[in-house]
Structure 1
Amino acid sequence: MGHTASEGYAYGQLERAVHTAAAAKDGATRQRARAKADRWREVLAGMADGSLRIGSRVPVAGTPAWVTLEVAHGGFATGRFLAEVPLSPAEVALCADGPGTTDRERLNLWYLTDAGLGTLRAMLASESYRIEVPEDAALPVVAWLLDHGHAEAALDLVAELRPYLRRLRLAPLPGAAPRPAGALVRLSTVGEVRGSLGSASTPPAVAAMLETLKVWHPLFDRLVALWCDTVKGDLPRLAENDVTGGWPCRTWPADWTQRRAQWLADYASASARHTASKAHTHPKSNFARLHRALLACERDSTELTGRDVGWIRRALANTVTKHGEPGSEPRAALRALQAAVAARPTHAALAAALAERLDRFPADGGLPSIEAVAGDAPAHLVAKVARALEAPIEELVARNVITSADVLATVLPQITAQLLAANFDNEQLSTLYAQTYAAFRRRRSLLLLDLEHQIRIEELPWVRAIDPLRARRPDAARAARQTVAQTVLLALNAFPHAILPNTLVRELGALAKQAELPMPLVEEVAADIFMGRFTAKWRAAAEITSRTMAGTLYARYYDLPQSWPSTPRPRPFRALAKRTADEFADVCVARASEAQPAHRPRSVAANGTVLEQSQILTTQNLAVLVHTLDLRSRLRASAPALAAESLKWTVTRLATRTDHHHAALQAIKNAAYAWRQALFFLSFCDADTQRATVGQLAEQVTRAGLAERFTPAVTGLAHVVEGGWFTPGGQVDSAAGRRFLGWTTGRHWCLPDAADHVR
């Protein structure tokens, strides 16, 4: 049966979602939290009754791996099928009288009739369809196969799909799905950006402030003027703790009653129309006191008590002292400034205006340029619009639209899909494959145990059916190789401190396969699910790393093995029929002892120390990529700047204050990963550059206030730069230098004291 994930993580996620649903002030946030809580309840219910086995690549009982599942945070399948959706009214009309036990089955069977196949052929011919989940491509593939002399393959595919016709949508949605041309990509469609802009709203506090400035302040000034006109003598003012000046209700102008009635009518109208602000209704506010007095005083002060008149006088003294008399220059200047503030368009108004400018562009396409819609819009809204810009990846990185390697991985499939689709001679099939690939890459990854791997696109039955028709074109292979190299260099130059995320590693792997470049690319493994085994590709990557980095700063700093035995000692993990690299695992475990002052077997921290060694031994793909793609010369020119940027990020990350123990440990781990990236880049620099970089690092550490905490790491690096080595325990004999690692089973020597007390 294999292992299964713990329910503890799911319980924790449910608890957080429930708390947010109960405590969040924003209604939309509460609604999202409730939906999230429902998903986690489904996960826990499935784990409890055995219908879900989290950790397997087929976590839903009786369901093949190719079915697209709803996946919650952390890779937990909920049991829902994303292709299991209700029919639209138009779809119901197509198959109302057809055979089948469900509406979905009736529609899927209709698509296999002459009329349905004709509809699918028309969609393929005009490219007027959208593949949202990979299953949407299944029946179009059947139609294409039947139309091009592959009836046997089509029938085999239908037979494999038959058990799922009653539940899954297996045909595309109508409507074109424009794709960026050539090497252009976009992060979002125009429709998605327009929806985001249209959902912008004014925060309640801001709406209340604007309403106060526009409505209630002018009404208040008129109310103050009404009562000031009843004062005989000087207007009341505050003098220390006393009120000086005349008293209200001593004189009554001829038009006072008429003005009072008009003010009360205007107040009633404003109260009905403007409800964002409630400050004027506070019973102890000057506004409320003067309003109550006005209600009680129809023609004169006979209905007011002496106490009431005293409160009127006090309220007038408060506002006159603070803001000036009605009509005075100070009060007029203040109100003019407030009116100018209130007249400024709100974020929501600006967003709505910008959304209108997008109406002339296709909702499911992209923008040819930002200038076409930006105009005088503020920069933060233009940045949102830029998500729909179709441009080369390099431009989107430069514009800060692509802000991380993870985001880079989300747009790269737009290029990969076209490169892979180019292997099909038939244009219709090529377009269908490109959309299918893009939809497949949108699938969320599952949490997997026991060295299982994520489903590959070739495992989709309809893709497997057309795979024999794929041709290996040399021009497509060359384009894929060029794309891999450009993407790797872009990621390293734009985000030098970050290891390549799993999503990007998988996409690079697909491109490498297209380019016919064998590369043992390895993923980052979570410490809490690590089972102590590695597959053979980790050892292969380590071999390449040892050869590529031999004699470099990186090799000396981390004491890389100079060579690996020519015949590895594999031991098959028979339950999975997967070859493991036990010798590599043994080396990682032995090296991890440096970071294990406190022996904690089978703990997350102990797993982390082993996994960190696997990353060190493989450079987490950097050496493999540089070697296979022959990037040495291209990397050498930018290496000094990349190393400096990575070290700067390391110092900044460690200098960011946190009083939370877990956050502090996470900061150290991320800093150590950036440190490792920096040492990789420094290995392509000459000795003088390495010394200068270490000198700059020491100055940065001192300026950041990290001298006491981080000097051992700087000292250790300087020692290795000068040709030295660490002791087996990761220290320097002649000085207080240490090798900087991110994981430890004890208290990390770089941990700030404050974070050590909050656990």
Structure 2
Amino acid sequence: MSEQFRTASPGYATGQLARALAAAVSAGTEADRERARRKLRRWEDVVGGMADGSLTVGSRTPVADTPAWVTLEVAHGGFATGRYLAEVALSEDETARVTSLPEDVPGRTERERLNLWYLGDAGQAELLDALRRGHYRVEVPEDAALPVVAVLLDLGFAEQALDLVAELRPLMHRLRLTPRFDPVTRPSDSAVRVTSVKDVAAALRAVRVPAQIATMRDTLTVWDPLYDRLVALWCRTVDGELPYLENGTVRGGWPCRTWPADWPKARAEWLADFTGTCRTHTPSGRQTNPKNNFAILRRALESCPEGSATLTGREVGWIRRALASTVARRGAPDTEQREAWRTAQAAAVAAPTNAALAGVLARRLDRYPADGGLPSLEVATAAVSDTETTAGIPGGTPMPDHLVRKAARSLEAPADELVGLGVITSGETLAVVLPQVTSRLLSAAIEDPVVARLHEQTYTAFRRRRGLLLLNLEHQVRFTELPWVDALAPCRSPEPDHAAAAYRALRQTTMLAFTAFPHALLPNPLVSELRTLAKQAKLELPLVEEVAADIFMGTFTTKWRDAGVVASRLLAGALYARYYDLPADWPDTRKTILRWGKRTAADFTALCRERAGTSGGSVAANGMLLEQSQILTTHNLAVLVDGLDLAEELRERAPRLAEQTFGWIQRRLAQRASHRHAALIQLKNAAYAWRQAVFLLSFCEPAVQFAHAEKLTEQVRGTVLEPVADGLLHVLQGGRFTTTGTARDGAGVRFLGWTEGTNPLLPRVE
């Protein structure tokens, strides 16, 4: 059947552009303004490209005349901006190299001349030397292109090298196709890290003293001493006892009654110091508010260069009250009370700022390879040493926990250890580090260590590519679609035996995700890595992605049906199957339809529509269909438990994990949402977590299931979750839900996150 190819609507991009513009206007610090300007530029590129037709958002090749393998700049939501990440200005080293090139090196641009030079004998020799020493960094996948040409020629695969050059040639004038050279070899081992030492050090150096704290320090160290001098000046003009407050009434002597001989000089010095201070420190409201004592006394000082003749009686009264107020609060000048108060203030601001300590920690990190990680957290947890001591940072000052946590992001350790330390805090972060493991397994199929190391860095860089928004059932660019990766095929062992290692890594990662984040769906980047590991382990697992409701194409490919079959078989008769009414069996003959060139599961799609009671179309209706697809497939839980033989291991941990997940749901729904959209997301995530809790509970003994359900029922009594808990207990007692998701006796409901009407479980909005 003929299908109409859809593209993304520009409405979302236009809205993002408006928000970016507002953020750029309201940004506070220069760093904030720069970030806002970069974001604004990206969305301007997106909107402009969609308007002039140079961008086709929704396609896997969204930029006109650009092959799919080019790494694109991608804005939030998967919108390509039209820019190439490998199209960068020459570095200083590259500029020096181009300057030294012979005049006969061809090329329309300096980048093209440099790329073509690296195809010559001298350039090839330089690349091979860097590859053999490991003195290079692949930051974007294209950095590996010409090094692959070099190793192919060196190994005698001239045909593959020439084919690769032909593929790259049209973009050599724009793209950097060589790596960044580095004198330090990058290590390769079993440890992973969330980010590099360089990135953490940069984040530490970006720590700033908050504006409120900076203002307070200015007040205590600059403006308050100036105010003390101002008060002392006026106190010298008082005849008799200093003014004081008694039940709100000013008592004591009057100012402007006596004028010491040096008073005019002292007055002039104070005014000069005040003017100079205003040039170096921005006055706050305490200094500028006309009703503030500081401003009252300063204005009066400016008005009487030689006496009080220019002051009215009312103004003298204001001076008297200002002096009485400050004496009452802080004591008179040069008294023990006022000195004690100032000493306490000085102690408060003497403590090192977080920004200063962050600088100390950043300098410690500078001792380690920029692209590497920390071997131990002791680097970050150690107190300030004698050699690190400065005037503002005394020796022995402990490093704040939040700065240690920043540094821990570059700690190199096994993934489970990083989870335990709180460095990996979500499935998304786990997906960030997993390519470091996967890349080593993939590269193990290459016997040549030089090529294997290049392949490993290329894969890690590839996994940093941001995914595109895709419609029409298109898929993201795969690693093997990179021409230089495909060209390395002759370097791979025909039958590498790394399946066992991949299987172990897959099991460990899956259980880590299950146990560390039992409430969360496996995010798409993590699913992608698990799929890669499964392929290396020679397993055919129908792993499915989470699909956004606003870009859902109204159908599912056949792997969704395959996953549903696994779920029904694994969970037959279990709590999950009864709670969600899973089909007991699936017909042996699949009903499929070819749509957008992909084989789709018509019977699975029809079942989702029947269960959801809608054919989709609106975002809410699409969400209802997608939720049913996740219910039927358990969104990869059943496939992984079944395919990796995790049932027994999961049974040991399921009671604790189910309890944790129920607790997370209660906390989540107890939070007040700031607006309706946030409340809808909150409810959706809670419903997804509930589904995972029911799955986990299905691996518990019946007594444990009842205990959890009864405990939950008591905990949520009187909350929006009460009918949900009643519904769970209803199913455990042998009951079933009606087609509308309610208990037959009306005592409970099935928890779903999507509906076309108002969901009674929707959290309150502030």
Q: Normalising by structure 2, report the TM-score.
A: 0.94
Deviation at 1:331, TM superposition (A): 2.5
Question: Aligned partner of 1:424: which letter?
Answer: I
Aligned AA (1:639): A
Name the residue aligned to 2:611. 591
Report the counterpart of residue 611 of structure 1 in structure 2: 626
Q: Which residue of 2 aligns with 1:68?
A: 71
- Cα distance in 2 for residues equivalent to 1:657 and 1:289: 45
* Deviation, structure 1 residue 276: 5.9
The Cα of 1:150 is off from its aligned counterpart by 0.6
Rounded to whole Å, the distance in 2 between the matches of 1:314 and 1:655 is 51
Q: SS of the residue aligned with 2:6?
A: coil
1:505-544: CA deviation from partner (whole Å, max 9, x where unpaired): 0001111111111111000000001111111111111111
Q: Determine the C-alpha separation between the residues in 1 that align with 2:674 and 2:176.
A: 50
Aligned: 1:49 with 2:56:
no
Tell me, in whole angstroms, the C-alpha distance in 2 between the residues paired with 1:590 and 1:537: 19
CA contact 2:445–2:496 (8 Å) conserved in 1: no
How far residue 699 of structure 1 moved from its aligned partner, in angstroms, is 2.2
Corresponding residue of 1:750: 761
User: Which residue matches 2:323?
Assistant: 316
Return the alpha-carbon distance in structure 1 between the equivalents of residues 563 and 186 of structure 2. Answer: 35
* Residue 11 (structure 1) aligned with residue 14 (structure 2): yes
By how many angstroms is 1:287 displaced? 1.9
Query: Hey, what does 2:387 align to over in structure 1?
Result: none
Find the counterpart in structure 1 of residue 394 from structure 2.
none
Offset at residue 473 of structure 1 (A) = 6.0
Matched, 1:678 2:693: yes
* 8 Å contact from structure 1 (residues 211, 277) kept in 2: no
What's the RMSD between the two structures over aligned residues? 2.0
TM-score, with length taken from structure 1 = 0.94
For the residues of structure 2 that align with 1:639 and 1:33, how far apart are their CA atoms? 45
1:36 aligns with 2:3: no
Is the 1:141–1:462 contact (alpha carbons within 8 Å) kept by the matching residues of 2? Answer: yes
Aligned equivalents of 2:699, 2:224: Cα separation in 1 = 67
For 1:374-424, what per-residue CA distance to the aligned partner results, in whole angstroms no more than 9, with x for missing partners?
221110111111111111111111111111000110011111111111110
Q: Equivalents in 2 of 1:41, 1:292: separation in Å?
A: 50
% identical aligned pairs: 58
Does 2:176 match 1:169? yes
Q: How does 1:256-271 map to 2 (within 5 A)?
A: 256=263, 259-260=266-267, 262-271=269-278
Instruction: Choose from 586, 603, 617 the match for 1:564.
Output: 586
Match in the other structure for 1:83 = 86
Aligned to 1:363: 370
Paired position in structure 1 for 2:706: 691
Render the CA deviation track for 1:324-376: whole Å, top value 9, x for unaligned: 22233433332222111111222211211221222222222111111123221
Tell me how many residue pairs correspond in the alignment: 744
Give the Cα–Cα distance (whole angstroms) in 1 for the partners of residues 339 and 212 of structure 2: 25
5+ long unaligned stretches in structure 1:
none
Q: Which residue number corresponds to residue 486 of structure 1?
A: 508
Alignment of 1:197-208 (within 5 A): 197-208=204-215
Aligned to 1:653: 668
Check conservation: 1:180, 1:186, Cα contact below 8 A: no
Aligned AA for 1:700? Answer: Q
Residue of 423, 429, 432 corresponding to 2:454: 432
| Alpha-carbon distance, 1:267 to partner | 3.8
Shift in Å at residue 258 of structure 1?
A: 5.5
Whether 1:221 and 2:224 are equivalent positions in the alignment is no
After superposition, the Cα gap between the structure-2 partners of 1:487 and 1:472, relative to the gap in structure 1 and judged at 3 Å, is farther
Q: CA deviation at 1:693?
A: 0.3
Hey, what's the Cα distance between the residues in 2 that align with 1:238 and 1:461? 84
Indicate if the aligned counterparts of 1:178 and 1:365 stay in contact, CA closer than 8 A.
no
- Checking the alignment, whether the CA contact within 8 Å between 1:177 and 1:365 is kept in structure 2 is no
Q: Match for residue 387 of structure 1?
A: 409
Q: Mark the CA change 1:340 to 1:545 in structure 2 (over 3 Å): closer, same or farther.
A: same
> Structure 1 residues 10, 237: CA separation in 2 closer, same or farther (over 3 Å shift)?
same
Answer with 227-236 or 549-558: which moved more. Answer: 227-236
- Inter-partner Cα distance in structure 2 for 1:735 and 1:260: 84
Q: Give unpaired runs (5+ residues) of structure 2.
A: 383-397
The 3-state SS of whatever aligns with 1:112 is coil
Matched residue, 2:200: 193
Alpha-carbon deviation of 1:311?
A: 2.7
Q: 2:537 aligns with which of 500, 515, 532?
A: 515
Match of residue 639, structure 2, among 624, 630, 634? 624
Report the Cα distance in structure 1 between the residues aligned to 2:378 and 2:197, rounded to whole angstroms.
Answer: 14
Separation of aligned partners in 1, 2:745 and 2:121: 84
Q: CA deviation at 1:560?
A: 0.6
How far apart are residue 320 of structure 1 and its match?
1.4
8 Å contact 1:177–1:364 — kept in the other structure? no
For the residue of structure 2 that corresponds to 1:156, the secondary structure is helix
Structure 1 residue identity aligned to 2:55:
L
Cα shift at 1:671: 0.6
What is the distance in 2 between the residues matched to 1:444 and 1:621? Answer: 23
- Amino acid across the alignment from 2:91: S
After superposition, the Cα gap between the structure-2 partners of 1:736 and 1:30, relative to the gap in structure 1 and judged at 3 Å, is same
What's the offset of the Cα at 1:161? 1.3
Change (3 A) 1:166 1:693: same
CA–CA separation in structure 2 for the residues paired with 1:728 and 1:308: 81
**Which piece of structure 1 moves more, 99-108 or 294-303?**
294-303
**C-alpha contact 2:117 2:123 (8 A) present in aligned 1:** yes
Consecutive aligned runs of 4 or more in structure 1 exceeding 6 Å deviation: none
Tell me: CA distance 1:659–1:439, structure 2 relative to 1, closer, same or farther (3 Å). Answer: closer
Task: Report which stretch shifted further, 433-442 or 710-719.
Answer: 710-719
Query: How far has the Cα of 1:241 moved from its partner?
Result: 5.2
CA contact (8 A) 2:215 2:284 kept: yes
